[in-house]
Structure 1
Amino acid sequence: MKKNTWFTFLLLLTYSSVMAQTTKKDIQDQFKNKSLAEARAYLEKQNGKIEKLIKLSSVSLKITPGDVDLKDVRTTEKFDNSPKEQIEKKFQKTLDRLYFSPRVVYPNTDLNISYSVRSLMYSVSNYDDYKFPEPILKLKKVFYQDGKTGTFSKELHGRNQETIDEIKGVKWIDSVELEASYHYPEAMPVITLSPERPLYQFAAGKIHLISVSDGKAVFKISPEVKEKILKVEGINNAGKAVEQYGSSSSNNSSNFSVEFLSQYYEAGKSTIEKIDKSAYKDVDELIEDLYAKIPKEDKKKPENLVNATYNFRGNITQVNLFLKPEKSAVGSYTFVLKNTIKNAEGYGVAYNKKNLAGILDKDGKWVVQPTFEELSYYKGDYFMGEVADDGYRSILWLDKINQKLVPFRYHFYRNEPILDKYYAIEDGINGPKGLVEIKTNKVVIEATLDNISEQGNFIVLRDRSDVNTIVNIDLKKVLTVEGHNYKINGDFIFLSKPYTSKEKFADYSVLSNTDDIYNAEGKKINKDDYVIETFDYFGIDGLLLVKNKLGKKLFINTKGDVVIDGSKYRNVEPFSCGLAAVKNAEGNWGYINTKNVLVIPFMYNEAKNFSKISAMVRTDNGYQLIDHKNKVIKKFDDGFRSYSVKKDADNLTYSNYNGKTYNSKGEIHKDDR
């Protein structure tokens, strides 16, 4: 044993779990060559430290949560001690949300993946507690925009300030295939304790359930065992897990009893008093007396256990303690990420080592030399440069033939293209509007208009007098209308006009407007004055529901010809996905096809429009979804407060009074509660 003072040796013992012997030689070595006065000063100093240690040993350090209202019982899902599937789902969900935006720094490419190993680990609750090796992300394949594929086995670090995920080459990347490997625990041991079975003994210690009452479970646990506990779960008398809301713990501050430490203190105090009375003739006599006074055994040595209390939101009858897994297995997940950076069809922004930007072609050759401090892709063949005098970034057009960026004097009115051929532009901020051809950068309509918009398959040019010139994709005029008394759908323009005839129109005593219909050539196709059903248009069936002067509901085709006379029905609804709901004289609904054949009989109290999957109908027994052959897909117990009526929809939604919204397959689309 290394030579120490007897107190220093004692201090070591107070933090040890094993009692050791203090020999007379230890004390002799400490007081060697000291005078009685020096021995007294030393003993005085050490007794002060022992006194503080006694006070510390008399208290426990703890953090205690407040009491909970046991009337507010909250149960929760039972803990899964085989969380492989849970970990895999969480990791895969997090990995699927990653994105990458490669940044070319000539002559290499930084993948710039939004990956963080810590974020991945944090996506699984308590994953850190397993102390597994960190997950590893590897690059497996790179899919280039020219159709070629590169194979790799390179570890990636993502958002790491010290490491750049760089690969050789500057070919434009379409997507990357990545593989994440990670550890997950094998089934975790679980210990179940209750008042009937309160003790579990380990080789390294024990867990002892002292009491279970008032939503609290009190334990005494060996420190080595407590470190192995991952989760404590309370179970009530119904066998359900009760939500935990807090815990507390306390530790003995010393491995020795207060009585044992006090004997050491009194031995030192008595020795000091005898020095003051000159009772020792020399230090050797002091050593003999001191050794005789110090205790040789701690008969009340406290058991080295942690006091632990776990609180639950409700009374419990047993406790499950899950231990940290000692073994793990390795899982992996392979997935593909698409490049989020757009470029101008094989041309993209790249940087040199001085961080100056230029443009590379698909072969990695500089088309525009890297001389720009600020350059980014905008849209089409347009790029954005430095901030101009008006406070907005300048716009540059890539002249691919002459391999240069040409300044563009206009701003863009909207980001999306018009009919995939033009961009709307404006002269200055909120200035007059015009059109530029995307492919050639040619201004085809000067910026003199008040507004330009894409509607259906047309472009509407509105001047400052509120006159709308409707043109086709070749900018040929189709129709001119004033104001906003029109709507466009696909290749057809519906123009509302005043009805000036003095004769009564159908069942209306006064009618202010009817609708004329014009095709893509600007030709009027309706042969009579009609009122068009609200929100209806020529859909995939090419039929439109109208009402004529006599009040008859008719279906006309895209040439304006009447193909179905709906007047024989009591009521008619527009066509949608091949069928139209019709009502007979008795008040029952069925469905006709585009040849006016009744294909679903008159058997329903209500009938909604069809999607490509089904329609909602009501019988005396409630609502149900039927398919195009009148087969029931799903029945509902409750009614509906709202529903979709979109024509020719792939899917429709229906909001039930029970708080759930269903789709056309009868599946729950969302829960509104």
Structure 2
Amino acid sequence: MNRIKLLASTLTIVTVIGGSTYYLMDWRAENTPLSGENYSAEELNEGGDADIGELSLSEAQKRINYLILDVRDTVNLNHRFQNLKLEITSVENAKTEEQKELRYDPLFVPLPTEEVKQALAQLKSSLTFQQLYFDNQSGIRLNVEPLQEVFKRAATPEQYVQEHYQVKTLYWHDGTQLPFNDVGTPITSTEDRSQDSTEVELKLNKPLEHVDLAVTYQGYPGFKKIVLDKDHSKVTFGGGEYYQLTALGGSEASLTLATPKGTTYVIQGMSHDGKALYNNGSNSNSVISPTQVANLRTYYAELLRIRRNFTEFKTPRALQEHLTMFTKNLSPIPETLAYSSASYRFDATPASVVIYVLQAPQKQTVELQMANAESTQERYIAFDNKTDKSGFIDKNGLWVVAPRFERIDYTEVPGVYRMVVGYINDGDRDGWRQSITKYFTFASGTNTLKQLPFDGIEQQINDSMIVVQQHTNGPYGVYDLKKQQIVVPMQYVNPEVVGTLFIARPGTKTYRIDSNYGIWSLSGKELLAPRYGSISASDGFIYTTSTDELQRDVYDLSLNKINPPGFTALGKFANDQPLLVQNRKSHKYAFIDTQGKALAISLPYDEVQSFSNGMAVIKKGELYGAIDLAGKVRVPPTYKTLHSFQKNLAAAEIEGGEGMELTDEGRVVESKLDYGLVLIDKDNVVVKKLGRLRSYAIGSDSNEASYQVWDEEEENRVNVFDADGKQTGSYVPNEN
């Protein structure tokens, strides 16, 4: 039989008599379950108390029976709920829960009103707008993305964020200023956005310097943070406010809450390492408050009294009038707390649950200033509404270049414009047109446009020079903006500029490889003839490789060769570490400094690798070890494989068969055991056993390594570790 929960949200237990308030029952005095007589289905008439007067007297008595049971069930259910104790549910397969690849939510970081103001103040210098110019008008587009990021942080993760922008005052470069209402033009739409929009129109086309605007948003003034876990399952505050963890396990957490009305809360399940576990869904329900429970107890007592003295009611109508009068005399007590229950499902069982209780949001208004994104210029791009063409106006809004171009865009190079000068029909597609684009600049000291002799800009070198491309897939060169001439002919492909050096190879098509690399100055003078298979730059040095890849030389930026005659460079200078070189004839290794001087490091080894984080891997016979910057052997050559050091650790494979065994101190001794891949420190101490290696990815002189090893207990599972030995993932490879 369905039960309807009556009066739980409407009845209170006070009555007003002669202006004084009297409590009929203190809810704190009654906190025990209700008990009483039960009734059979034949003795019940389901329904509320509003229509009792329409029943027969016998059916009205059955209705009273139903109401007694209904109120009793409601009170007792609430009693059980309010007295829940924390239940810890064991996870059947804890290993699976720990090793599966978990998902995480962003950590919620509260941003109350005062901190919002501080965050907005930090954005002050970066707030800009874009002004678009027309023949007799202009438009403003506010760049509000930085502001929206702040307002998003000032809201809850699921809250719809909506702020309002209102331009107040406009300031021009000539020192004049006007209220927006004097020059603002309403934008025709279903909603008048002229006073509350990120886009507005003005009756003037004069370039602005900055604008003042008011931004209105909803923000909360403060918050409190509550942390619950299995050892601290309940937190209480004054006035009956409480937060209780009632169940934890099976990737779920359940809570009961009594929060101040008007507040909102954010709940996150936290992992042991402080990450917010992914929320797979939640449900919440309102719970009867203590005051409401007391109301129901009072109502229940009256129902029992009516049941015992039912004969005093001669008609059902009299019974209904009595119940109506009883409830009418009850005046509501404003509830200060909201009671609820909530259950959350996560990717794993949380170690703790964090609750942020945010105070009631309030409407906030901040005054901000935005600057014109375009700095003061002699001319501004403008669009003519009559001809649908673009040209240039001066700072007074007057045309200085008539609107005759299809489109004009600023480029990243100041003073250089990209213009669409016309269209050609695309013969392969009916109705399609291809734009003809050219680059222009103004002749110095004039309003005369000059077309530039290239079709593409690759990079800006400095205030004067840019790398340019003759045409698509064509050769590159260097253009001097001050001299307004090509200084490095457009005869090269795959260019790279390092300092004052132009590295490239001669060619006319970027997709052809029919020449070698060389180096030229930015004035076009050949510095290194194009005879190299490759040339690269790194940390202030130039590295060249011969076409047969047998010789590698290193130069400084003045193109002084650093490696000694007869030696080829192996690796690079990095982080103030020496460079490894090898004699082409004797194959002996040496380390040199940045001046080319050989260091006093003895290298009687079959193989030597470059330094990585202060350690160099060496090979003696078939086994590997490592030396430090002084040449001291820190890791004896006892490993089957030793990878380059990542910060302070390196991955090593222990030799099988006649392999190694680890002592309690982490040292390696002779043994018949094979532990696979381990991480060792610079003193040859094994700090972590990883397992049997599947694959790896290691960066030189970095800390970006990734090791994939087979799980020792679960067949076909692969665990992923980073350079510090921390597990970052786990997966089962796809057999297909």
Q: State the TM-score, normalizing by the size of structure 1.
A: 0.50
**Greater gyration radius:** 1
